[in-house]
A and B are shown apart, each in its own frame.
Chain A
Amino acid sequence: MNIMNAQQVTKDRKVVGKSVPVLDAREKVTGSLKFGVDFAVLGMVHGKILRSTVPHGRVKRIDVRKAESLPGVLGVVTHEDAPDLNWMGVWDNYRGKVLDGIARFVGDEIAAVAATTVEIAEEALELIEVEYEPLPAVLDVEKALLADAPQVREEGNVRDEYVVLWGDLEQGVAEADHIVDIEMRYKSQNYAGIGRNACICEWDGDKVTMWTSTQTPSELQSGIHQAFGMPMSNVRVIALPSGCSFGLWWSNNFMMVTALLAKKIRKPVKIELTSQECMAAVKRRHIEITRGRMGVKNDGTLTLADFSHLMDNGAYGFKTDVYFFCVDLWGGALNGDYRVRGVNTNLVTSGCMRAVGDITMGLAVERLADMCAATVDMDPVEFRIKNQLKSGQQLRMQESRGHMKGALTEYIDALSDEQKQGWPEMFHLSSGSTHELLIRGAEKFRWRDRWKGWGVPASVNDSKYRGVGVGTGAHCCGVEFGGNTSSVVRVNLDGSVNVFSACGRQGQGSETTLAQVAAEEMGVSLDRVSIVTGDTDSVPFASGSSASTTMFRTGWATREACRDAKKQLLRVASQEFFNGIPDDQLEIDDGIVQVRNYANEHPRIPLEEMMNVLCSDSLSQTSVITGRPNGVMPPTIAFARQWAAQFAEVEVDIETGEIKIIDYLAGQDSGTVMNPNVLKNQVIGGAICGAGFVLYEGIEFDQNDGRILNDSLLDYKVLRSGDFPSDVEVFFVESEDPVGPFGARGAGESPAAAAGPAICQAVHNAIGVWVDVPMTPETVLKALKMKSE
């Protein structure tokens, strides 16, 4: 069936596009929703982790005897207890052993204690004697690149360069009337997740069960399988909702340490992390540096985009690249050369945090493009419309992408035409762009009236300078090769439906929006759908809620699974209840099977009645109907993106350096909006995450040993209610995707990428100078001082 047509027939939607309250709303407002820290099992004891005090060192001697003899201590694990196996976290955010006797950052896991109480476990930690053989440490991302730098890992510090190329750089230089360059350095952002996390693990024979807050249940199951060398069938992960995660709680090594401890003492163990551990010893955003140049013609055409980007993986990250779709966002540039390198340091592991790459490198690309626009004195909205990629155009991320291009084209070429039927054109943008967002946004924001020119304030009142700015952002809608997903749907005897889809519950509302997909496709009301998201004993393997996968890919799988189940149901109905009227002329509407367009002239059979008859009919083949996707989902990366365009007005006090956001408008094109209230909330949350990144947030590392100095919310400032306008507006452009469920695409990350550029440009327009990020009052005053000199 042609997917395009399938989208069009379902315009009359009953559940899709409705702002139904999220399914766990009552639990949330009554405080009864159980997160990892709230969970307990019978017979559970408590664990604590001994963490390294050195940035790099080999454990020469570790004596746990005193700890073991403390009353109440049930067991201690060190690297001597750990399997000699590497495990890999989601998207190479972790690669290493559970414990291997080498400390690679201050705070690294060295040993763990289980005891009857948390207090005894803490006391026992102090009784463990560790002697380190110090190893030279590298705490600077650029120094870590050097050939004679201390090596953090046995694989070496430096990952393969990741390259995206198109056109010809020399030509881009020759064609340009102006070449503008930039260097931007970003501090590492802390996830600073409210909610912390805990892991409870229990071994029963050779089977292990883990309860923890995670966005990626299947991948955690796979990680345990790798770390302990056991079949996945013996690993059960029950993913609990997490507090705000942003990518922090995927599969983390403290979970593996919990499993190791539970295995040794053969009792359920809970390790509950402190806020400080969450902020200093799990994961953070990469430290990144972008250098680049862009060429522009006097008519505003970008002839060249040439960027080189460096990111630190910390100790256990193993990423080659940050994943950056600013390449496609500014894909109108005639010639392009983007290079990214990942490098290890003796700092706490870094990984994918919301809008990874696009919030950092994307900010430099946007800022440099703005500087080009200013050079040729062109309106930033017009400049974006002129140079950003539009629907139908060729994607840049597909140009000679070293290690991926071959694999992706080989995969696509190997499929039959039948399997690819209905696919959109590969390597071309399938739907949406910033174009419509910019046009509608500029109109809503009254951009033409409010923008006074580059570096010209919109108004000045005493020391308070106001300026407006626009920013755009993009990101993926899930990835392939390790990003596979599925869903299973079961129709129960009463016609109610269970959906089994692995996803995370970190506040993005996937449990609700996936249930909406299922209810719409099955033709039943939402209260007849129950969704299982986190139990790997029942959900099929799926790339978890990362890389904006869930709505696009898991939503697709859920809809396909429903189609499959519905097809089976209608075939039986055709035969048993409708005298052979073909199943493709039947439909399910509000839980009733009927003949499409002729419902009143034929019987209308409630699903419940049908399922009951089926079950009591000894001739029926089965008492259960289950559905799964039958088709091949086209590789997301080859056609789908999410888009954001945001407009901000800020006020900068040139005496104090303080920046206030005065007015905000956020536009989002994520295709069909499944649940407007959920998405509006998510879009603004993204904007606030991006605003925090450019205004306040940044980890301070100790110069000598790399420990995180601001590892508490007292010292690490995040935005609060009064820091962001309550009357922020959100609007949607719903360019339907040809593949995503009911035309939906990914959503959660591009809004975070668009905010920084919008706010930075607004600050520039207010005070006439580009300010380094985070734009703290000191940085603003320093920039103003440099400008006046």
Chain B
Amino acid sequence: MSSTLHVNGQKFDVEIRPHETLADVLRDKLGLIGVKVSCGEGECGSCTILVDGIPCTACLMLGRQGEGHELVTVEGIGGYENLHPIQQAFIDEQGFQCGFCTPGFIMTAKAFLDKNPNPTEEEVSIAMSGNICRCGAYPYIVKSVLKAAENIRNQQS
């Protein structure tokens, strides 16, 4: 049975088997490998995407649950040649080491900054605690998100 997914502003008709996770569908059928899957049980946050603006772990959703929602992956906020200010800030502050968890952190940061454009350091640190960075880049992730907030505010003013 064909399903329709709205991902990164585009419409896709895809065959989704009932047991397939949304993360697998996005990765395997739509080639969106920025949806990284590590723990597969919603604990590490690497596969975080936005579902109608809310950060969700795509490994815990079934593919068909994605129907009827606006889905955004890291590929949807910025690309190699047109980075989103959050992505740029992660580069400037080196908010990563190995890079596996990075798309998940960036999507968590996106949802957070959409709601709280002027956060304190502590608020950022707590907001980022749903994701795991085993390399331990946390302090630089926090700096990246603060810098991104500043850049976005400057852009808008």
Contact = CB atoms under 8 A, between A and B. Distances in A.
B87 A30 contact: yes
A29 B138 contact: no
A22 B142 CA distance: 18
Contacts, number: 185
Does more than half of chain A's interface fall in helix, strand or loop, or is it mixed? loop
Given A21-B91, A718-B134, A728 B139 contact: yes
Interface string B111-155: 000000000011011101111111111111111000000000000
Contact residues on B (Cβ < 8 Å of other chain), bracket: 35 or more
B57 to A, nearest CB: 12
A26 B80 contact: yes
Nearest to A691: B136
A49 B139 CA distance: 38
B75 A31 contact: yes
A219 B105 CA distance: 33
A77 interface: no
B33 to A, nearest CB: 5
Contacts of A275: 38-41
Contacts of B139: 684, 724-728
B34 interface: yes
B154 to A, nearest CB: 19
A585 B4 CA distance: 69
A678 interface: yes
Interface stretch (A88-96, A189-197, A375-383, A446-454): A189-197
Given A29-B83, A726-B138, A727-B139, A685 B132 contact: no
Given A678-B94, A713-B44, A28 B137 contact: no
B9 interface: no
A31 B102 contact: yes
A30 B46 CA distance: 13
Contacts of A726: 121-122, 124-125, 138-139, 142-143
Contacts of A155: none
B19 to A, nearest CB: 8
A720 B129 contact: yes
B18 interface: no
A22 B135 contact: no
A508 B94 CA distance: 12
B78 interface: yes
Contact of A724 (B33, B83, B101, B138): B138
A32 interface: yes
A11 B34 CA distance: 41
B15 interface: no
Contacts of A461: none
Given A195-B36, A196-B38, A724-B138, A30 B78 contact: yes
A438 B120 CA distance: 32
Contacts of B138: 684, 688, 719-721, 724, 726
B83 A721 contact: no
Contact of B97 (A35, A509, A687, A725): A509
Nearest to B128: A721
A681 interface: yes
Interface string A56-80: 0000000000000000000000000
Interface of A: 19, 21-22, 24-35, 37-38, 192-196, 241-246, 274-275, 505-509, 677-678, 680-682, 684-689, 712-714, 718-728
Ranked 7 nearest A-B pairs via Cβ? A31-B34, A507-B98, A507-B97, A28-B99, A688-B136, A685-B136, A243-B100
12 contacts: A27-B99, A30-B34, A31-B103, A37-B36, A37-B37, A244-B133, A246-B134, A718-B134, A720-B129, A721-B133, A726-B142, A727-B121
